[in-house]
Amino acid sequence: MTMLNVGRPTQPQTAVPVAHASLTGARGLLQDEALIFELGGWDKTGVDLEPAALDASDLAGLTREAPIGLPGLSEPEAMRHYVRLSQKNHAIDLALYPLGSCTMKHNPRLNEKMARLPGFADLHPLAPISTAQGALQLMDELAHWLKTMTAMPAVALSPKAGAHGELCGLLTIKAAHEAKGQGHRRLVLVPTSAHGTNPATAAFVGYDVAEIAQTEDGRVDLADLEAKLTPDVAAIMVTNPNTCGLFERDVIEIGRLTHAVGAYFYCDGANFNAIVGRVRPGDLGVDAMHINLHKTFSTPHGGGGPGAGPVVLSEALAPYAPAPWVVSGPDGFKLVEETIDEAAAGFGRMVAFQGQMGMFVRAYAYMLSHGTDGLRQVAEDAVLNANYVKARLSGVMSPAFPDGPCMHEALFDDSWLEGTDITTLDFAKAMIDEGFHPMTMYFPLVVHGAMLIEPTETESKQELDRFCDALIALAHAAKAGDVDRFKGAPYLAPLRRLDETLAARKPKLTWRPEPTTVAPAPLAAE
Amino acid sequence: MRFTKDHEWVELEGDVATIGITAYAADQLGDVVFVEVPEPGKTVKAGDGLAVVESVKAASDVYAPISGEVVEGNPALGDTPETVNDQPEKAGWFAKLKIADKAEFDALMDRDAYEAYLGTL
């Protein structure tokens, strides 16, 4: 017979040689990647533009003479650069992303499709109102549902993030106090477990900040609150559910005590996904609360896109809301742009235009596609998933508040690592090798070596089990004395332990070309 | 040298008090990356915020253990915040205060009392 002795071997290789380092430093399909400034030069461009034909400038001598220093890359180079970078990152589209207090849940693709409808995506903020009726209707209906879900009479849609919403809320509170001759109030009370943005916002608005102590079961200490509620207090800022993942059981009493001294109750709504559809903050005595559309209503965040932090306001604060807002009349929808004519007390505005339209569309699509029963289930599943994680991990890790259920996030301390020489940081780094983004660590500050896990409502039982199995295996390894696995982690990331101290002490904030790089003379004008 | 429960130390020379944070505090903070010291002329009461110290872990206020007027903030800490970790109870001092009332100093813990207090934490 004729032997076919060319071509590839047909038998499986029996002995696979041990892996060796590659010759280029690349790791297989995971390419090494330089900074875009190092990749790009002056000799390439991705676009072919006509030379600029300007012969006069209106910039009164401020025209840039030196080259701008942007890297030139061809289109495939630019494309590959960002695809390679994206492959080095964890993403919610890769696996569970348990970053506590951040609600890193799945972003339904339907939202994305709706946000890309040309009528929304291509709309200019200065387009004539008659051409933007659909967008205004959407904003009006979004406002309606936010008010309905929170039992609040007014909402400022324009703030562009949670902390921006806090700023909006406190500026509204300040305007209200000033209008009532209470502008002398100087103090804002914040619990010790608060998000750092709360005291920062209060200080930014010009208030002094005092801390409210926490009880042993992780909640606001009512006696301490009452003692600190003096006539000098302008507002309190409380997160509910709080950053320990616990519902503030005394929230109604907190509101009552606050109002009794003439202060306002600001609620940090970062954790609204745990109660949406089940609890209306307006019923709890809240005067102002920001809603992170990018958490509760699933618009992308965490590097994935801009945020949006609309603020709902109580009857007492509604007259002081910032512009703009949408009103409807016989001639259709219009924007109220000035607070001077319509409501003399408004403190002005937060942003130049109307806010994050793309986020409004995504949040609205999320609400309508879930419906009232679906939104209620969001809260139920968020809490159920966190309690499932808490129950499974409590066998090997130490819950910070073991008594009773948690809300949407499970909080552990590091007492279970005692004697292992392994820290919360080491444990978090080892999670990267197992294919998970670490949980939030060392926050809230009131819990030693805190590990705050928020699985979110969009994870299946299978994914939760995969995650819990990985953490339980790691916990056993830690207790068995497998210290190197943790101290050296991550072993399987593009970069290992970074020198965070050096980065904080001597940050390099700009990249400068090597001295040998010669920039060409600017193109001569035609 | 005298100490507070908030882990500040005070050393008195004449009527000028030098203030810093204790070795225990520096160790608990971890690597210090930023320090904000007060300007001369600022007056503080005991318990007021005097300086800010930021580590890779957290930002904390340093309280004035004693009332007085700031004579000098440690100029070296701006460029070398690591001094707070390396020599917390020496070169890593934060500020010098001209004090009004020595009784405030006398009321603070001595080293033995402070170490006994650390034992209870």
CB atoms within 10 A of CB A126: 8
Question: What does the pLDDT read at residue A524?
Answer: 44
Mean pLDDT of B59-66: 91
In the numeric block, which tokens belong to residue A21?
A: 């380092």
Question: What does the pLDDT read at residue A91?
Answer: 86
Torsion angles phi and psi, residue A45, rounded to 5: -155, 150
Torsion angles phi and psi, residue B34, rounded to 5: -160, 140
Question: What does the pLDDT read at residue B25?
Answer: 94
Which of B33, B58, B81 has its CB closest to that of A445?
B58
Residue B60 reports pLDDT greater than 90: no
Nearest residue to A428 (alpha-carbon basis) of A474, A476, A479: A474
Mean pLDDT of B62-86: 94
Q: Which CATH number fits domain B2-119: 3.40.50.300, 3.30.465.10, 2.40.50.100, 3.30.365.10?
A: 2.40.50.100
Torsion angles phi and psi, residue B20, rounded to 5: -155, -170
Domain A379-497 has CATH 3.90.1150.10: yes
Nearest residue to A129 (alpha-carbon basis) of A347, A338, A327, A341: A327
Task: Verify whether the Cβ–Cβ distance B81 to A500 is below 8 Å.
Answer: no
Task: Verify whether the Cβ–Cβ distance A505 to B57 is below 8 Å.
Answer: no
Residues A381, A460: contact at Cβ < 8 Å? no
Residue type, A493: A
Question: What does the pLDDT read at residue A68?
Answer: 75
Distance CA A507, CA A496 (A): 18
Question: What does the pLDDT read at residue A148?
Answer: 97
Residue with tokens 């008090």: B17
Question: What does the pLDDT read at residue A422?
Answer: 97
- B56–A contact, CB cutoff 8 A: yes
Which of A442, A445, A505 has its CB closest to that of B33?
A505
Task: Verify whether the Cβ–Cβ distance A504 to B82 is below 8 Å.
Answer: no
CA distance B27 to chain A (A): 14
Residues A463, A417: contact at Cβ < 8 Å? no
Class of domain A111-367: alpha beta
- A505–B contact, CB cutoff 8 A: yes
3-state secondary structure of A495: coil
Boundaries of CATH 3.40.640.10 in chain A? 111-367
Task: Verify whether the Cβ–Cβ distance A445 to B81 is below 8 Å.
Answer: no
- Cα nearest neighbour of B33 on chain A: A505
Distance CA A97, CA A91 (A): 7
Residue A210's Cβ-count burial label (10 Å; 0-12, 13-18, 19+) is middle
Residue from A211, A443, A448, A501 to probe the interface with B (highest B Cβ count within 10 Å):
A501
**A504 chain-B contacts, CB cut-off 8 A:** 31, 33-34, 54, 56
Q: What is the pLDDT of residues B9-55, one digit of tens each?
A: 999 999 999 999 999 999 999 899 999 999 999 999 999 999 999 99
Which helix (H) or strand (E) segment holds residue B13: the answer is strand B8-13
In the numeric block, which tokens belong to residue A407?
A: 């809300």
Nearest residue to A468 (alpha-carbon basis) of A387, A382, A405, A389: A389
Mean pLDDT of B91-107: 94
Task: Verify whether the Cβ–Cβ distance A442 to B57 is below 8 Å.
Answer: yes
Residues A244, A401: contact at Cβ < 8 Å? yes
Nearest residue to A197 (alpha-carbon basis) of A160, A228, A239, A234: A239
Alpha-carbon distances of A480 from A417, A484, A486, rounded to whole Å = 11, 11, 12
Question: What does the pLDDT read at residue A526?
Answer: 37
**B54 chain-A contacts, CB cut-off 8 A:** 504
In the numeric block, which tokens belong to residue A216?
A: 């042993």
Residue with tokens 């039992």: A151
- Cα nearest neighbour of A209 on chain B: B49
Q: Tell me: cis bond preceding A241? Omega within 30 of 0 counts.
A: yes
Residue with tokens 């001759």: A181
Q: What is B21-85 written as a DSSP string? A: E-HHHHHHH-SEEEEEPPPTT-EE-TTSEEEEEEESS-EEEEE-SS-EEEEEE-GGGTT-TTHHH
Buried b / exposed e along A248-274 (16+ C-beta atoms within 10 A): bebbeebbebbeeeebbbbbbbbbbbb
Buried b / exposed e along A295-315 (16+ C-beta atoms within 10 A): bbbbbbbbeebebbbbbbbbe
> What is the pLDDT tens value at each position of chain A, 526 positions in all?
666 667 776 666 677 777 788 887 777 777 778 888 888 877 788 888 888 777 777 888 888 777 777 888 999 999 999 999 988 888 888 899 999 988 999 999 999 999 999 999 999 999 999 999 999 999 999 999 999 999 999 999 999 999 999 999 999 999 999 999 999 999 999 999 899 899 999 999 999 999 999 999 999 999 999 999 999 999 999 999 999 999 999 999 999 999 999 999 999 999 999 999 999 999 999 999 999 999 999 877 765 568 899 999 999 999 999 999 999 989 999 998 876 555 557 889 999 999 999 999 999 999 999 999 999 999 999 999 999 999 999 999 999 999 999 999 999 999 999 999 999 999 999 999 999 999 999 999 889 999 999 999 999 999 999 999 999 999 999 999 999 999 999 999 888 898 888 888 888 887 766 554 455 444 444 3
In the numeric block, which tokens belong to residue A65?
A: 């003479």
Question: What does the pLDDT read at residue A101?
Answer: 87
